[in-house]
């Protein structure tokens, strides 16, 4: 692709090469030195900066053979002036669980993209995919072929299961209550068809966090949120606690007073936790990682329904399974069973562009639980109803 | 590319992560005992076995050229046996087993313009989205605003002197791909005018019932324009969510003069101490002012600094505001409280103050 | 009224004469000894207990000349069997503020009611009125005449201003931040016409509590809730604090840890309060009334909109005026102005049977504030909006 | 009654309260300094002037015969210079200036069946309503249930050994005249079957549009019955609020077999510590079982005792439950958690548990 490059003046963008934070403009220019698409992107972006408006059109449906997802079609509305971004589709490549790479793997990806695209990427997209940022329709299939040869595959887009993601978990964190990367890989492989071939009312996302710190924001960003937790006593090393106290942690102010379960006592010698009132918030552990640790009976809490505000307002996932062990193959299969049970009524009765969280709010959590065969549990709610408008359906059968 | 045409491979999923784990992680997988953060950007994880893993975290603009990717690969080979990862906030992390290599790596990273930090009670990279670089829907740019804000707040990335973590995020439209709805400080691109219906195009490219159904406030009615079927928008009812545009290209909302940015505060995701919270509206509108969005940068900086000066240790922005009360937040930040801050959507009534728990 | 009494067997009700709690059945029987209405009520009630169902019909409109409120019409659906309760209307008599009486006043009321009604009453109804429980239509006017002669008047019912009520306040409480009885009397007198002649979309209630303890449940039970509070420092007698500590109050556990403002410190010697974070909840004062007291700059917080659940769900009053002084005639008149400003849009645009709280939720607090000419203040809300659906109306004017 | 016809007096309002205040109150009005509760039912208020007012509080069934009213008047003259008052919970209070008269007054009150107490951390009288004594709308009786419950809990009225105040209230239908929606424990009469439309009566006495409009769930449709206009009820949609009956007598819901009582917990009104809270559903249905409603009495007693045994000092029922969590509440009380506890009304989504703040 080394033909003659058009040279764009970019006074506004040049401003963004200055300053200590790494500059995306420098990145675009680096690619623009040799890549026509990147070069036209630079020109188009300067234009947007000048006019304070984007220059992209709605993307039509483009993709690779046999897949419905994984590619976001994009075309500029100024194709004459910027012919090399007349097509500028992005490809979503399913990242390895936990976003771990080797230098070699990164180079392989870079080489493929240099052959077929803009030379620009996102590491990563906010769902978790590797984003190959911008190429032409005819390049999609060859890129895909090389990716799969190299052992990579596309992620989700459209109304399908989206690329699952997870925190680094047991690979690099002492607090992981289950193997987030293993479960994420398992689910990703199990749902390959559903990830690649949209067949749902709308998107459906998985995120796996190893503990209640929720480092992948599962509760806010995934329809199906798996968050690690424990059931038994917090592990305490009293010696270390005293150590922290000596080194200036004000245990009463910073921990006792801030514990939401109000279940910690500190007499200057010993830290007592009434575990029966512990809310598993992680705070005390976070502040004294060398002294405290989650218990030994570990597993996860499963929550359902998170989404962004469009269109009925944002929703956070809510508890659907208060605690589940995740240490066996069966336990992974049980998760799949649960997911399938959840997908079924949603796929059948969900409206077009209705996320599962919106669906549950429409039909009511109680009815939804009946539909998927789970018993109502007080853990699923913040508090029981305050309004007296209770349905006593039983009689409908009776009579 | 001869070989690629041979046989078509599909549905293989991503490579197995184990291929990419350094030996020290394979050996200590699930055995980590505790961590320490000896200095900003360096996290040391110690295993039951006594083994220690040294993570060096560097800033990333997220938008990376293949050139930079090769550079990272090169650094990884030089310092961390070829192993590295990226974080859920898009920073790059090098995974070292030899502490002696920490300093030289940091020097090289700083040298190529990738500051090291973002750990502990710091401002880490901003989760953000595409903006003018790739999305048709954007009301502002993403990368440029992030760059401008982080240039100003860089000191908080490179140190750990804040009361707690503070998570910043940006989304360039209400779709909120950056999931900014639970951030300590969120920057949100907004349209402030109703869609301009393209009556020519609409009947050709859109299903009118879908368009009508897409509107949460029922502002869209079917109509006819010069005999052809189209829709009309009751502008009084429209709050510019752009959902109609998402389903129908003939209803653009983008507007160079009136698109802009709103600022949201007090959200969080973690369960630490308080339950996860949504971000709440702080500033309804700031103008799009590229290339450096000074109004946005200064507003965010002001909020960060007022919080830093007043919060108790470990208090996230939302927790701090809950303790001092919203009236104090507006007083301390000097942000004006307006009618637009008062919820008027579905559950508005539940946001009214139903007690005399006030501070004077 | 001393003709021959019908004798009813009341085996079920007799059960309720037993036990330590004062028995309403004994009260009915006391009246039934000489009063035909009370006697038939006894029989009718026994019948309800046997059949597990009430025997009253919807009340038609009955009342006294020129008033629309103050009487609740009631008729039994078993008039043949219980002719003396074929009519059984209640009269609501406006109680003296604070429910204070003299023996003489009580006797006067009893005498009037013996002449005209069932000899049964409620002290008091749950809005606060004295309830004369049951009489015939033709007795209403004469009863009313005697009441007014004695200086009493009817209270509210129907879609009018309901009988205001208040806590004993300054008459018998050290925490009263304004004169609840004086304000209640003032409002009652000012709104005589609106209390007696229903002209609103629905009922409108006032309740005045002298401090945040809210002993008349104003925030839950009055459309217009006036709750006393203060703006300056809590008054502290450190000597007394130590006294309480000595006498066994665990100040850290019972007060410091329970303070919602987290603004109290106790070193065993001195109690420090960061008044700038005090939420004015009263707790610390409640626990140590001899040591602490509300500040000296006292007034009230005004809240609006409380109601029971029919039909959109219960509503608690919410802040409309964060703080107002109530120590002058003008300040009382300002309250009247505020009330009138609130009533106006509600009377004009409120739907039939729509309480003011429901009205505000329908039109939106922001719009309502504009209508009554108050500036939006952050004290009025729990938190700003979380949804991004902001209206930028300004341009509607501009363009 | 000759004189009464002479001239007609209207709109005079109630007598001025000052007429009814004892001299000691007039002298110390607004000057009270603090109070003590030396024993259950006796409150001593001390003034800046040093003056002391002794209040003796006695239980009342609220429904009083004129005979009893005269008795109270007589006691007031004998012990409190003729001065007395009633409380917002319908107890009677005698206002003494002479402490020597406290004991004899209490003896006489107990003798005539009006126990003294209800102060401090006690169970005071139950706010309640009319029930079968006077209201057409009632799903249960009021006075009988109150009598049965208070007979069982009398010990908590006469002592002050509970962790905090606990407020009980009863309303005999969803109109909630007892304002039970913010009570520590609320007893609520409920219908559990849709209205039975009286097609004969309806067109004569009701405005059909009003009836249709009255239904919050839009369960009522206009219809015709034997040619005459009437309404029909979609029973699946009806949740028995009786609002239609309130506006139209031809739609009775009362049903001897299926009317009953639901129990609600955790509400509060005061701003002390926590903000005011609504009561939440504890038991969806208990049968009407006059004359003593044993199921209701035992359920209420159980809740009181579990709370008393487990709450921290000063913790109201709702505050206690918030601390231990609802799952623990159901476990400790042995109350079954059912689908009916899960909100499915307007703001239901906001009651789902959106965190992992759970206890195991
Ligand atoms: C690429 C990415 C932003 C980024 O720069 O990282 C993205 C980009 C788009 N998102 Fe998104 N979303 C991306 C993550 C998200 C997230 C965050 C997440 O997944 O954690 C959210 C919020 C969480 C959620 O799912 O609710 C998100 C919520 C939306 C929505 C609103 C969905 C809703 O139910 O509220 C839309 C609108 C829609 O679906 O039509 C949307 C739609 C879009 C579209 C396809 C625009 C459109 O209307 O068709 C954007 C294409 C931009 C482009 O041209 O490249 N995107 N989108 C992210 C995907 C990259 C990846 O695969 O890794
Ligand atoms: C690397 C990463 C996970 C990953 O697989 O990528 C990660 C790693 C760690 N997180 Fe996290 N968190 C990571 C994103 C998050 C997120 C998600 C987000 O920001 O979008 C959250 C939720 C944020 C929120 O609540 O809005 C998150 C909330 C926490 C918390 C809770 C903080 C709090 O008090 O609320 C802790 C505990 C702490 O830091 O004390 C924590 C602690 C940690 C520890 C200390 C866990 C450990 O023992 O290793 C890790 C290093 C700490 C650090 O960065 O200071 N991590 N952490 C993510 C790094 C992002 C970055 O580059 O900065
Ligand atoms: C007598 C009294 C109950 C009692 O035994 O004390 C009462 C009795 C009735 N109330 Fe009430 N309400 C009484 C205080 C209340 C309260 C409590 C309060 O005022 O503090 C409330 C809850 C607070 C509120 O106003 O929301 C209350 C909320 C209702 C409602 C529901 C109103 C709503 O907007 O939700 C109705 C239904 C209606 O208005 O049609 C109602 C309707 C009724 C009717 C008139 C029945 C009807 O549907 O027409 C009852 C007449 C009963 C009878 O035959 O005697 N009553 N009503 C109370 C008035 C006595 C007095 O004047 O002192
Ligand atoms: C007499 C009365 C006011 C009146 O004008 O009638 C009254 C009088 C007092 N109240 Fe009250 N309250 C009275 C109804 C209420 C109510 C309303 C209700 O129950 O419907 C409340 C709100 C209840 C709720 O929150 O649901 C109420 C919440 C309080 C509180 C806050 C308790 C808490 O911790 O939540 C206090 C402070 C305390 O007791 O520590 C209080 C304290 C007091 C004090 C100590 C105030 C004082 O210094 O004199 C008075 C005697 C205390 C006592 O009874 O133990 N009073 N008090 C009412 C007596 C009702 C009864 O017969 O039992
Ligand atoms: S979510 Fe928990 S387990 Fe996962 S990285 Fe964060 S702290 Fe570690
Ligand atoms: S994890 Fe949280 S709730 Fe549990 S003891 Fe620690 S701080 Fe308290
Ligand atoms: S937030 Fe909006 S504009 Fe930004 S990438 Fe997502 S859809 Fe596009
Ligand atoms: S922008 Fe949103 S509110 Fe406005 S018309 Fe479109 S869909 Fe409706
Ligand atoms: S509300 Fe306050 S002032 Fe009034 S009686 Fe109760 S405690 Fe006293
Ligand atoms: S009144 Fe309440 S908030 Fe204020 S200091 Fe006392 S306990 Fe704390
Ligand atoms: S609660 Fe219902 S039944 Fe009881 S008095 Fe009020 S309206 Fe009548
Ligand atoms: S009882 Fe309530 S829900 Fe049922 S039909 Fe009547 S108004 Fe509608």
Confirm if A76 and A44 have CB atoms less than 8 A apart. yes
Confirm if A243 and A269 have CB atoms less than 8 A apart. no
Q: What is the CA radius of gyration of chain C?
A: 25
All residues of chain C having their beta carbon less than 8 Å from the beta carbon of residue D113 are 20, 22-23, 26
Q: What DSSP line would sit under D207-262, residue for residue?
A: -HHHHHHT-TT--EEEEEETTEEEEEE-TTT-----HHHHH-TTS----TTT-EEE
Angstrom distance (rounded) from CA D236 to CA D258: 17
**Regarding predicted confidence, which is higher, D202 or A393?**
D202
CB atoms under 10 Å from CB of B107, counted, come to 10
Reading chain C (399 residues) residue by residue, the pLDDT tens digits are 446 889 999 999 999 999 999 999 999 999 999 999 999 999 999 999 999 999 999 888 899 999 999 999 999 999 999 999 999 999 999 999 999 999 999 999 999 999 999 999 999 999 999 999 999 999 999 999 999 999 999 999 999 999 999 999 999 999 999 999 999 999 999 999 999 999 999 999 999 999 999 999 999 999 999 999 999 999 999 999 999 999 999 999 999 999 999 999 999 999 999 999 999 999 999 999 999 999 999 999 999 999 999 988 999 999 999 999 999 999 999 999 999 999 999 999 999 999 999 999 999 999 999 999 999 999 999 999 999 999 987 655 554
Span from the CA of C215 to the centroid of ligand 9 (angstroms): 5
Ligand 3 atom with minimal separation from the C309 CA = 35
Confirm if A186 and A226 have CB atoms less than 8 A apart. no
Residue-level pLDDT at A80: 96
Angstrom distance (rounded) from CA C172 to CA C160: 30
DSSP A288: -
Residue-level pLDDT at B6: 63
Confirm if D192 and D244 have CB atoms less than 8 A apart. no
Burial class (CB in 10 A: 0-12, 13-18, 19+), D335: buried
D343–A316 CB contact, under 8 Å: no
**Position A3 pLDDT exceeds 80:** no
Angle between helices B294-310 and B326-333 (to 10 degrees): 120
Task: Flag whether residue A361 sits within 8 Å of chain D, measured between CB atoms.
Answer: yes
Residue-level pLDDT at C399: 45
Burial class (CB in 10 A: 0-12, 13-18, 19+), D70: middle
Q: Which of D4, D72, D132 sits opposite C146 (nearest CB)?
A: D4
Span from the CA of A91 to the centroid of ligand 1 (angstroms): 13
Residue-level pLDDT at B179: 78
Task: Quote the distance between the C-alpha of residue C139 and its chain's center.
Answer: 28
Interface test with D, best of C43, C52, C244 (most D CBs within 10 A): C52
Angle between helices A329-349 and A365-372 (to 10 degrees): 120
- C-alpha distances (whole Å) from B255 to each of A309, B146, B187 are 22, 21, 18
Burial class (CB in 10 A: 0-12, 13-18, 19+), B89: buried
Chain B CA closest to residue D349: B347
For residues A361-372, average pLDDT = 97
- Element housing A130 (H / E): strand A130-135
Q: Quote the minimal CA–CA distance from A393 to chain B in Å.
A: 27
A123–B90 CB contact, under 8 Å: yes
Chain A CA closest to residue D359: A279
Angstrom distance (rounded) from CA B81 to CA B98: 10
DSSP A357: H
Question: Helix/strand/coil (H, E, C) string of chain C?
Answer: CCCCCCCCCCHHHHHCCCCCCCCHHHHHHHHHCCCHHHHHHHHHHHHHHHHCCCCEECCCCCCCCCCCCCEECCEECCCCCCHHHCCCEEEEECCCHHHEEEHHHHHHHHHHHHHHCCCEEEECCCCCCEEEEEECHHHHHHHHHHHHHCCCCECCCCCCECCCEECCHHHCCCCCCCCHHHHHHHHHHHCHHHHHCCCCCCCECEEEECCCCCCCCHHHHCCEEEEEEECCCCEECHHHHHHHHHCCCCHHHHHHCCCCCCCEEECCCCEEECHHHCCCCCHHHHHCCCCEECCCCEEEEEEECCECCCCCCCECCEEEEEEECCCCHHHHHHHHHHHHHHHHHHHHHCCCCCCHHHHHHHHCHHHHHHHHCCCCCHHHECCCCCCCCCCCCHHHHHC
Residues with CB under 6 A from ligand 6: A 259-261, 263-264, 273, 278-284
Chain B CA closest to residue A182: B17
Beta bridge partners of C71: C91
Residue-level pLDDT at A1: 45
CB atoms under 10 Å from CB of C331, counted, come to 15
Q: Is the pTM of this model over 0.90?
A: yes
Beta pairing, strands D228-233 & B280-287: unpaired
Residue D215 Cβ contacting ligand 12 at under 6 Å: yes
What are the tens digits of pLDDT across the range B108-153? 999 999 999 999 999 999 999 999 999 999 999 999 999 999 999 9
Q: Quote the minimal CA–CA distance from C207 to chain A in Å.
A: 23
Task: Flag whether residue A384 sits within 8 Å of chain D, measured between CB atoms.
Answer: yes
**Position D314 pLDDT exceeds 70:** yes
Which three-class secondary structure state does DSSP give residue D273?
A: coil
Ligand 5 atom with minimal separation from the A211 CA = 2
For residues B303-325, average pLDDT = 97
For residues D298-317, average pLDDT = 98
Chain B CA closest to residue D270: B355
Residues with CB under 6 A from ligand 11: D 129-130, 135, 137-138, 171-173, 175-177
Assembly ipTM: 0.96
Residue A47 Cβ contacting ligand 1 at under 6 Å: no
CB atoms under 10 Å from CB of A265, counted, come to 13
Task: Flag whether residue C243 sits within 8 Å of chain D, measured between CB atoms.
Answer: no
Q: Which of D34, D129, D241 sits opposite C289 (nearest CB)?
A: D34
Residue B137 Cβ contacting ligand 7 at under 6 Å: yes
Task: Flag whether residue A48 sits within 8 Å of chain B, measured between CB atoms.
Answer: yes
pLDDT confidence tier of residue D5, bands split at 50, 70 and 90: low
Residue-level pLDDT at D178: 81
Backbone angles phi, psi at B339, to 5 degrees: -55, -35
Which three-class secondary structure state does DSSP give residue A220?
A: helix
Residue D243 Cβ contacting ligand 12 at under 6 Å: yes
Interface test with D, best of B355, B356, B358, B359 (most D CBs within 10 A): B355
Q: Which of A21, A120, A221 sits opposite B147 (nearest CB)?
A: A21
**Regarding predicted confidence, which is higher, A334 or C5?**
A334
All residues of chain D having their beta carbon less than 8 Å from the beta carbon of residue C215 are 88
Confirm if A384 and D282 have CB atoms less than 8 A apart. yes
- 287-316 in C: which are within 8 Å (CB) of A? 309, 313-314
Residue A129 Cβ contacting ligand 1 at under 6 Å: yes
Confirm if B354 and C382 have CB atoms less than 8 A apart. yes
The helix/strand count (H/E) of chain A reads as 15, 16
B292–A101 CB contact, under 8 Å: no
Angstrom distance (rounded) from CA D49 to CA B251: 76
All residues of chain C having their beta carbon less than 8 Å from the beta carbon of residue D9 are 145, 148-149
Q: What DSSP line would sit under A307-348, residue for residue?
A: B-STTT--B--EEEEEEE---SHHHHHHHHHHHHHHHHHHHH
Chain B CA closest to residue A188: B13
Span from the CA of D243 to the centroid of ligand 12 (angstroms): 6
For residues D107-118, average pLDDT = 98
All residues of chain A having their beta carbon less than 8 Å from the beta carbon of residue D181 are 386
What are the tens digits of pLDDT across the range C361-375? 999 999 999 999 999
Q: Which of D276, D350, D356 sits opposite B271 (nearest CB)?
A: D356
Residue D317 Cβ contacting ligand 4 at under 6 Å: no
Q: Please name the residues in contact with B97: beta carbons below 8 A apart, sequence gap of 6 or more.
A: B22, B23, B24, B52, B53, B54, B80, B81
Q: Please name the residues in contact with B7: beta carbons below 8 A apart, sequence gap of 6 or more.
A: none
**Position B3 pLDDT exceeds 60:** no
All residues of chain A having their beta carbon less than 8 Å from the beta carbon of residue D353 are 318-319, 379-382
C57–D25 CB contact, under 8 Å: no
Angstrom distance (rounded) from CA D30 to CA A137: 84
Reference D99, options D55, D145, D33; nearest CA is D55
Angstrom distance (rounded) from CA D100 to CA D80: 11
CB atoms under 10 Å from CB of B34, counted, come to 20
Q: Please name the residues in contact with C80: beta carbons below 8 A apart, sequence gap of 6 or more.
A: none
Backbone angles phi, psi at B67, to 5 degrees: -60, -50
Span from the CA of A365 to the centroid of ligand 4 (angstroms): 39
């Amino acid at each position: 692709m080394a033909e003659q490059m058009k040279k764009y003046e970019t006074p506004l963008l040049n401003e963004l090469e200055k300053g200590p934070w790494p500059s995306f403009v420098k990145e675009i220019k680096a690619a623009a030195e040799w890549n026509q698409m990147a070069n036209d992107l630079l020109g188009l972006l300067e234009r947007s900066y000048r006019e304070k408006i984007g220059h992209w059109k709605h993307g039509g449906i483009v993709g690779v053979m046999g897949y419905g997802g994984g590619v976001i079609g994009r075309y500029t509305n100024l194709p004459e002036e910027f012919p090399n971004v007349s097509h500028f589709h992005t490809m979503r490549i399913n990242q390895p669980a936990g976003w771990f790479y080797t230098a070699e793997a990164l180079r392989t990806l870079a080489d493929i993209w240099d052959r077929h695209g803009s030379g620009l990427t996102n590491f990563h997209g906010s769902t978790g995919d590797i984003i190959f940022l911008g190429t032409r329709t005819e390049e999609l299939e060859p890129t895909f072929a090389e990716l799969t040869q190299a052992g990579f595959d596309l992620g989700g887009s459209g109304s399908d299961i989206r690329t699952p993601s997870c925190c680094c978990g047991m690979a690099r964190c002492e607090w992981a209550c289950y193997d987030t990367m293993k479960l994420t890989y398992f689910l990703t492989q199990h749902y390959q068809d559903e990830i690649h071939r949209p067949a749902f009312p709308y998107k459906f996302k998985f995120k796996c966090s190893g503990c209640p710190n929720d480092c992948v924001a599962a509760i806010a960003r995934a329809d199906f949120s798996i968050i690690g937790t424990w059931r038994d006593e917090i592990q305490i090393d009293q010696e270390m606690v005293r150590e922290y106290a000596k080194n200036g942690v004000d245990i009463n102010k910073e921990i006792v007073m801030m514990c939401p379960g109000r279940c910690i006592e500190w007499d200057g010698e010993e830290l007592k936790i009434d575990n029966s009132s512990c809310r598993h918030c992680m705070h005390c552990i976070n502040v004294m990682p060398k002294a405290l640790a989650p218990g030994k009976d570990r597993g996860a809490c499963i929550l359902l329904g998170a989404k962004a505000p469009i269109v009925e307002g944002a929703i956070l996932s809510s508890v659907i399974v208060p605690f589940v062990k995740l240490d066996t193959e069966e336990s992974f299969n049980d998760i799949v069973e649960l997911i399938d049970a959840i997908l079924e009524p949603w796929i059948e009765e969900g409206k077009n562009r209705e996320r599962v969280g919106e669906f549950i709010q429409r039909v009511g959590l109680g009815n939804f639980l009946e539909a998927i065969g789970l018993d109502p549990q007080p853990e699923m709610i913040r508090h029981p109803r305050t309004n007296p408008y209770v349905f006593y359906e039983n009689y409908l059968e009776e009579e | 590319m001869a070989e690629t045409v041979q046989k078509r491979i599909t549905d293989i999923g991503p490579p197995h992560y184990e291929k990419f784990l350094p030996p020290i992680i394979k050996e200590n997988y699930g055995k980590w005992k505790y961590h320490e953060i000896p200095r900003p950007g360096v996290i040391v994880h110690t295993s039951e076995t006594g083994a220690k893993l040294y993570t060096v975290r560097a800033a990333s603009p997220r938008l990376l050229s293949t050139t930079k990717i090769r550079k990272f690969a090169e650094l990884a080979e030089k310092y961390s046996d070829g192993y590295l990862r990226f974080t859920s906030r898009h920073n790059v992390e090098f995974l070292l087993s030899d502490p002696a290599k920490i300093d030289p790596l940091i020097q090289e990273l700083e040298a190529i313009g990738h500051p090291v930090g973002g750990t502990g009670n710091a401002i880490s990279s901003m989760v953000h989205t595409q903006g003018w670089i790739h999305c048709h829907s954007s009301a502002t740019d993403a990368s440029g605003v992030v760059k401008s804000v982080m240039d100003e707040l860089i000191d908080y990335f490179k140190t750990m002197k804040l009361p707690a973590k503070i998570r910043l995020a940006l989304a360039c439209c209400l779709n909120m791909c950056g999931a900014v709805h639970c951030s300590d400080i969120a920057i949100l691109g907004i349209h402030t005018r109703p869609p301009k219906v393209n009556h020519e195009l609409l009947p050709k490219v859109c299903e009118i019932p879908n368009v009508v159904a897409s509107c949460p406030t029922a502002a869209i009615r079917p109509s006819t324009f010069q005999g052809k079927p189209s829709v009309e928008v009751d502008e009084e009812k429209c709050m510019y969510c752009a959902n109609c545009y998402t389903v129908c290209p003939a209803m653009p909302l983008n507007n160079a003069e009136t698109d802009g940015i709103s600022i949201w505060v007090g959200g969080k995701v973690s369960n630490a101490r308080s339950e996860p919270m949504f971000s709440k509206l702080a500033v309804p509108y700031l103008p799009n002012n590229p290339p450096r969005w000074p109004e946005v940068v200064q507003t965010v900086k002001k909020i960060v600094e007022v919080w830093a000066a007043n919060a108790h240790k470990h208090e996230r922005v939302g927790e701090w505001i809950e303790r001092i009360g919203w009236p104090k937040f507006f007083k301390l930040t000097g942000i004006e409280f307006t009618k637009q801050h008062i919820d008027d959507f579905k559950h508005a009534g539940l946001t009214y103050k139903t007690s005399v728990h006030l501070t004077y």
